[in-house]
């Protein structure tokens, strides 16, 4: 065996697609797409650009549309050979199982895990920690809310306060079996002013599982600081959907900053 660099694992670049009733929502502005709202077509596009993983967030509230999401997952898994994480509205081990059987590699839990943290343990026991992602929507405490770290967990897309310390929740979530944390900064989300580095550092310093940083990406130069703050993966949505820059450009920028990435060789 030859000598190798201490870390050769590539930092992952992950596009996130919000899916409502089988269609991708939020602005999609790609040229050359037959149908910009079709999640399967978009997934293939991102795969070709070098996405290391994909996240589908099912934002459909009604459980009746769960079947539609399963069909989207199935069709995507049939043609995309990179890992797929699916989240949104997962409330039970059975929901979890259905998504895995449809072709999801990982399933993210958010609100349901806050309501019942046992769900994390149950899912990890049954399916393995490697496919249990704890999604945390965190924000700096607003006036009237106080936590030890200064960050709290929110629900309902950042609109509802829980008063739970986001850093403590990350620790508890991984103790209960989450194999990865999807860390969404609700303060940075949509601002395009960069990731919340303090939040990333705070979580990174207390957990031993991979951390995906999400929220705030607006420029190519935003990604390396998130990695340097401790993120193992970086996630973005609108900047990719609007074609402001590509996954390949993000990877090139990280590569130039000396950060290992998977570069496409073809």
Partner 1 sequence: MSIREIVILDYGSGNLRSAQRALERVGATVTVTSDFDTAVNADALVVPGVGAFAACMRGILEVQGDQIIDRRISGGRPVLGICVGMQVLFARGDEHGTEVAGLGQWPGMVEQLEAPILPHMGWDTVRAPASSKIFDGLADERFYFVHSFGVTKWQLNENTLDRQPPVVTWCTHGTDFVAAVEDGPLVATQFHPEKSGDAGLALLQSWVRSLY
Other beta carbons less than 10 A from residue 170's beta carbon: 27
Q: Is 59 in the site for partner 1 (CB under 8 A)?
A: no
Q: CB of 90: closest distance to partner 1 in angstroms?
A: 15
Task: Kindly state the tokens that stand for 98.
Answer: 């259905």
Q: Is 49 in the site for partner 1 (CB under 8 A)?
A: no
Q: Is 176 in the site for partner 1 (CB under 8 A)?
A: no
Residue 65 annotated in active site: no
Of 33-41, 136-144, 203-211, 240-248, which segment contacts partner 1 by CB under 8 A?
203-211
Q: Is 265 in the site for partner 1 (CB under 8 A)?
A: yes
Task: Kindly state the tokens that stand for 74.
Answer: 């199935």
Q: Contact with partner 1 (CB under 8 A): which of 25, 59, 77, 220?
A: 77
Of 28-36, 100-108, 182-190, 191-199, which segment contacts partner 1 by CB under 8 A?
100-108
Residue 18 annotated in active site: yes
* 44-to-33, 47, 53, 75, 84 alpha-carbon distances in Å: 11, 5, 11, 11, 12
Instruction: Please state the φ and ψ torsions of residue 164, each to the nearest 5 degrees.
Output: -85, 135
The torsion angle over the Cα atoms of residues 177, 179, 185 and 191, rounded to 10 degrees, is: -150
Q: Is 52 in the site for partner 1 (CB under 8 A)?
A: yes
Of 9-17, 86-94, 149-157, 193-201, which segment contacts partner 1 by CB under 8 A?
9-17
Q: Is 9 in the site for partner 1 (CB under 8 A)?
A: yes
Q: Contact with partner 1 (CB under 8 A): which of 43, 114, 209, 213?
A: 209
Catalytic residue among 20, 47, 137, 196: 137
Q: Is 228 in the site for partner 1 (CB under 8 A)?
A: no
Q: Is 208 in the site for partner 1 (CB under 8 A)?
A: yes
Number of residues that bind partner 1 (CB under 8 A): 38
Chain residues that interact with partner 1, rule: CB under 8 A = 1-2, 4, 8-12, 47, 52, 74, 77-79, 81-83, 100-105, 127-131, 179-180, 208-210, 232-233, 262, 265-266
Q: Return the active site residues.
A: 18, 137
């Amino acid at each position: 065996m030859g000598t190798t660099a201490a870390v050769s694992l590539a930092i992952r670049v992950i596009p996130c697609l919000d899916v409502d009733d089988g269609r991708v929502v939020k602005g999609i502005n790609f040229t050359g797409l037959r149908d910009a709202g079709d999640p399967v077509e978009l997934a293939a596009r991102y795969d070709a650009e070098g996405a290391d993983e994909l996240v589908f967030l099912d934002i459909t509230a009604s459980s009746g549309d769960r079947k539609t999401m399963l069909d989207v997952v199935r069709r995507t898994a049939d043609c995309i050979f990179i890992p797929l994480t699916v989240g949104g509205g997962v409330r039970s081990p059975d929901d979890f199982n259905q998504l895995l059987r449809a072709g999801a590699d990982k399933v993210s839990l958010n609100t349901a895990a806050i309501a019942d943290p046992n769900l994390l343990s149950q899912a990890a026991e049954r399916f393995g920690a490697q496919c249990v992602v704890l999604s945390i929507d965190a924000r700096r405490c607003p006036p009237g809310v106080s936590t030890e770290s200064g960050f709290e967990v929110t629900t309902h897309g950042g609109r509802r306060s829980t008063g739970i310390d986001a850093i403590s929740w990350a620790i508890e979530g991984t103790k209960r079996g989450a194999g990865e944390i999807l860390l969404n900064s609700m303060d940075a989300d949509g601002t395009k002013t960069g990731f919340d580095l303090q939040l990333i550092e705070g979580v990174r310093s207390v957990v031993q599982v991979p951390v995906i940083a999400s929220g705030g990406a607006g420029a190519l130069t935003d990604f390396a600081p998130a990695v340097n703050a401790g993120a193992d993966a970086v996630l973005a949505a609108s900047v990719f959907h609007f074609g402001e820059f590509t996954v390949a450009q993000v990877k090139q920028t990280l590569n130039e900053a000396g950060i290992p990435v998977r570069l496409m060789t073809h």
